[in-house]
């Protein structure tokens, strides 16, 4: 059974964060809050954990559309090809925030993502998740957890998330109620912004 850990967004407890990071480092799966919906993720450098998430989502890992959660823009150059200053300006204005930016992937992507031409980058406006990534030292691969209910697309109550996912993952973080609106997805792979999904993030940034 997963551990259910309460962490406060306005002041994340470092001991609790360290506990989550230790789980990620040993290949565990974690459910955590973001500034949009709750996400399911693992350490970007752990292939076994990545395979587990792909299995849960029912997709082949090589074809999975996972995003990377970074804690600031300094990670960009590790995974993304050089981007022009106009694009960078938009990213700087929008992040941290409820956006996923699809950018051209670089040659430094982890082995399993090597064939990917593009990568989704998230820097959520959520202290819990960003502190975890900072303490881990590299991004976490993320995918949102959907609800089986046809009316509710996303579960917002961490207690209910724990009830449903407690036997599947290693840690569920209770960071308070989540949002039920996903991030706005903007594709920059062609050099100009193309809105793939309009979600919580306003399009005024473009």
Q: What is the pTM of this model?
A: 0.95
pLDDT in tens, 21-61: 999 999 999 999 999 999 999 999 999 999 999 999 999 88
What's the mean per-residue pLDDT of the chain? 94
pLDDT tens per residue across span 141-183: 999 998 776 667 788 999 999 999 999 999 999 999 999 999 9
Q: What three-state secondary structure class fits 113?
A: helix
Burial degree of 140 (CB within 10 A; 0-12, 13-18, 19+): buried
Burial degree of 102 (CB within 10 A; 0-12, 13-18, 19+): buried
Count of domains in the chain?
Answer: 1
pLDDT at res. 173? 98
Which residue range is the domain that position 175 belongs to? 3-205
- Buried b / exposed e across 146-159, counting CB within 10 Å, b at 16+? ebeeeeeebbbebe
The string of pLDDT tens digits covering residues 52-79 is 999 999 998 888 889 999 999 987 888 9
pLDDT, position 150: 66
Both structure tokens of 67: 């995003």
CATH (domain of 10): 3.90.870.10
């Amino acid at each position: 059974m997963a551990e259910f850990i309460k962490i406060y967004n306005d002041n994340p407890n470092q001991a609790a964060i360290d506990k989550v990071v230790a789980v990620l480092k040993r290949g565990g799966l974690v459910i955590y809050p973001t500034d949009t919906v709750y996400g399911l993720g693992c350490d970007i450098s752990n292939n076994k954990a990545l395979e587990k998430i792909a299995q849960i989502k029912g997709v082949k890992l090589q074809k999975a559309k996972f995003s990377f959660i970074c804690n600031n823009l300094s990670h960009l150059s590790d995974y993304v090809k050089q981007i022009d200053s106009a694009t960078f300006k938009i990213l700087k204005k929008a992040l941290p925030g409820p956006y996923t930016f699809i950018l051209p992937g670089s040659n430094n992507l982890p082995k399993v993502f090597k064939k990917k031409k593009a990568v989704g980058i998230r820097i959520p406006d959520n202290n819990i998740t960003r502190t975890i990534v900072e303490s881990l030292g590299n991004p976490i691969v993320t995918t949102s957890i959907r609800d089986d209910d046809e009316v509710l697309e996303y579960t917002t109550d961490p207690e209910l998330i724990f009830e449903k996912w407690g036997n599947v993952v290693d840690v569920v973080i209770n960071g308070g109620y989540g949002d039920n609106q996903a991030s706005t997805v903007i594709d920059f792979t062609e050099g100009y912004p193309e809105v793939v999904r309009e979600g919580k993030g306003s399009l005024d940034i473009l």
